[in-house]
A and B are shown apart, each in its own frame.
Chain A
Amino acid sequence: KQEVTQIPAALSVPEGENLVLNCSFTDSAIYNLQWFRQDPGKGLTSLLLIQSSQREQTSGRLNASLDKSSGRSTLYIAASQPGDSATYLCAVRNAGNMLTFGGGTRLMVKP
């Protein structure tokens, strides 16, 4: 059974810092991995989708990498801003074509 873990569970940084969020998964036979952002009490916004054949994806200040063989992905946020404060979730798609979610990293960027 696929298990997805996100470290750290919470992170507080001053504005302007570059930061890395980690996601690990136990079964490397994935189809893709997706990073989401969730604001308090709200739905999920898709940030980046990495297919199993890809190594990384970039969107603006966000860069996500994937090392499928080691079961790891990282989300890099450059020059963090207070508006980046949210919970970040990773999810992997594997056998059965279903998503398995990590527990999330709650990020606070202080002005």
Chain B
Amino acid sequence: SAVISQKPSRDICQRGTSLTIQCQVDSQVTMMFWYRQQPGQSLTLIATANQGSEATYESGFVIDKFPISRPNLTFSTLTVSNLSPEDSSIYLCSVDQGWINTEAFFGQGTRLTVV
């Protein structure tokens, strides 16, 4: 298993500002992902964080709005830029080892409220 520390756990931000979320894993992992969970909804994949290269974004998500870094095999950040109230969601970091039978693990989530 993997233990994931995600910070901050929650934040209230002003419209137009940015929030950076950190995800630290206690062991090296192959794959790191960022998800968004809008109020009352299930999880939507934002992007796959690739070590040392640009993240791979899902349809509807762009790098300018959700820049992602992954400098090594245990750490990643997600920035949500130019915040609007529609960005109020829970953001989740997830990791797995990339095998087809692998188990996914999640961080504690970051609850973002934009005012």
Contact = CB atoms under 8 A, between A and B. Distances in A.
Question: A and B from one assembly?
Answer: yes
Contacts of B106: 36, 43-46
B103 A98 contact: no
A97 B6 contact: no
A6 to B, nearest CB: 9
Contacts of B107: 43
Given A97-B98, A98-B45, A101-B42, A44 B92 contact: yes
Interface in A66-99: 89, 91, 93, 97-99
A66 to B, nearest CB: 13
Interface residues of B, number: 23
Q: By CB atoms of chain B within 10 A, which of A42, A43, A93, A102 has the most?
A: A43
Q: How large is the interface on A (under 10, 10 to 19, 20 to 34, 35 or more residues)?
A: 20 to 34
Contacts, number: 55
B10 interface: yes
A34 B103 contact: yes
Contacts of A91: 43, 104
A104 B101 CA distance: 22
B10 A31 contact: no
Given A89-B42, A97-B98, A98-B45, A46 B109 contact: no
Contacts of B1: 46
B73 interface: no
Interface in B37-87: 41-43, 45
Nearest to B4: A43
B42 A103 contact: yes
Contacts of B111: 41
B104 A97 contact: no
A41 B109 CA distance: 8
Interface of B: 1, 4, 6, 10, 41-43, 45, 90, 92, 94, 98, 100-109, 111
10 contacts: A32-B101, A34-B104, A41-B109, A43-B4, A44-B106, A46-B105, A49-B103, A91-B43, A97-B98, A103-B42
Given A36-B106, A46-B105, A99-B45, 4 more contacts: A42-B108, A43-B92, A45-B106, A102-B42
